[in-house]
Amino acid sequence: MSQTPLKLFNSLTRQLEEFQPIHPGEARVYSCGPTVYNYPHIGNMRAYVFADVLGRTLSFKGYKLTHVINITDVGHLTDDADAGEDKMEKMAAARAQSIWDIARHYTEAYWADVKALNIRQPAKWTIATDYIDEMIRFAADIADKHCYELDSGLYFDVSTVADYGRLARAQTEEGEGRIEAVEGKRNAADFAIWRKTPPGETRQMEWDSPWGRGAPGWHLECSVMSGAVLGFPFDIHTGGIDHREIHHPNEIAQNQAHCCTNGLDVAANSGANIWMHNNFLVERSGKMSKSAGEFLRLQLLIDKGYHPLAYRLMCLQAHYRSELEFSWEGLGAALVRLKRMVIGVQQLRNRTGGEVDARILMQAQFVLAAFDERMSDDLNTPDALISLEQAITSKKAPGSLGLYLVEEMDKVFGLNLLELTRADLRIRPKAATITEAEIEAVLAQRKQARADKDFARSDRLRDELAAQGVEVMDGDPLGWDWKLG
222 binding Zn ion? (CB under 5 A)? yes
239 binding ligand AMP? (CB under 6 A)? yes
Kindly give the interhelix angle for 42-60 and 358-376, rounded to the nearest 10 degrees. 130
**How many angstroms separate the CA atoms of 386 and 367, rounded?**
10
CB of 234 to ligand AMP, least distance (A): 17
Choose the one of Zn ion, ligand AMP, none that binds residue 249, judging by a C-beta under 5 to 8 angstroms depending on kind. none
Choose the one of Zn ion, ligand AMP, none that binds residue 58, judging by a C-beta under 5 to 8 angstroms depending on kind. none
Contact flags string 199-228 toward ligand AMP, x per CB under 6 A? ------------------------------
Choose the one of Zn ion, ligand AMP, none that binds residue 11, judging by a C-beta under 5 to 8 angstroms depending on kind. none
Considering only residues 399 through 438, tell me which ones interact with ligand AMP, judged by CB under 6 A.
none
CB of 83 to Zn ion, least distance (A): 20
143 binding Zn ion? (CB under 5 A)? no
**Contact region with ligand AMP (CB under 6 A), list: 61-69, 278-286, 378-386, 418-426:** 278-286
CB of 179 to ligand AMP, least distance (A): 19
With CB under 6 A as the rule, give the number of residues binding ligand AMP.
Answer: 15
CB of 53 to ligand AMP, least distance (A): 14
CB of 206 to ligand AMP, least distance (A): 21
Choose the one of ligand AMP, Zn ion, none that binds residue 222, judging by a C-beta under 5 to 8 angstroms depending on kind. Zn ion
Q: What is the 3-state secondary structure (H, E, C) of the chain?
A: CCCCCCEEEECCCCEEEECCCCCCCEEEEEECCCECCCCCCHHHHHHHHHHHHHHHHHHHCCCEEEEEEEEECCCCECCCCCCCCEHHHHHHHHHCCCHHHHHHHHHHHHHHHHHHCCCCCCCEEEEHHHHHHHHHHHHHHHHHHHEEEECCEEEECHHHCCCCCCCCCCCCCCCCCCCCCCCCCCCCCCEEEEEECCCCCCCCCCECCCCCCEEECHHHHHHHHHHHHHCCCEEEEEEEHHHHCCHHHHHHHHHHHHHCCCCCCCHHHHCEEEEEEECCEECCCCCCCCCCCCCCCHHHHHHCCCCHHHHHHHHHCCCCCCCEECCHHHHHHHHHHHHHHHHHHHHHHHCCCCCCCHHHHHHHHHHHHHHHHHHHECCCHHHHHHHHHHHHHCCCCCHHHHHHHHHHHHHHHCCCCCCCCCHHHCCCCCCCCCCHHHHHHHHHHHHHHHHCCCHHHHHHHHHHHHHCCEEEECCCCCCCEEEEC
Residue among 270 and 376 whose Cβ is closer to ligand AMP = 270
Residue among 222 and 367 whose Cβ is closer to Zn ion = 222
122 binding ligand AMP? (CB under 6 A)? no
Contact flags string 5-44 toward ligand AMP, x per CB under 6 A? ---------------------------x-xx-------xx
**Contact region with ligand AMP (CB under 6 A), list: 147-155, 240-248, 393-401, 472-480:** 240-248
Choose the one of Zn ion, ligand AMP, none that binds residue 47, judging by a C-beta under 5 to 8 angstroms depending on kind. ligand AMP
Residue among 222 and 257 whose Cβ is closer to Zn ion = 222
Considering only residues 18 through 77, tell me which ones interact with Zn ion, judged by CB under 5 A.
32
Residue among 47 and 461 whose Cβ is closer to ligand AMP = 47
CB of 75 to Zn ion, least distance (A): 10
Strand partners, 175: none
Choose the one of ligand AMP, Zn ion, none that binds residue 27, judging by a C-beta under 5 to 8 angstroms depending on kind. none
Pairing type for strands 64-71 and 26-31 reads parallel
Question: Can the peptide bond before residue 233 be classed as cis, meaning omega within 30 degrees of 0?
Answer: yes
Please pick, from the candidates 139, 281, 345, 401, the single residue that binds ligand AMP as defined by CB under 6 A: 281
| Site residues, Zn ion (CB under 5 A) | 32, 222
| Site residues, ligand AMP (CB under 6 A) | 32, 34-35, 43-44, 46-47, 239-240, 242-243, 278, 280-281, 288
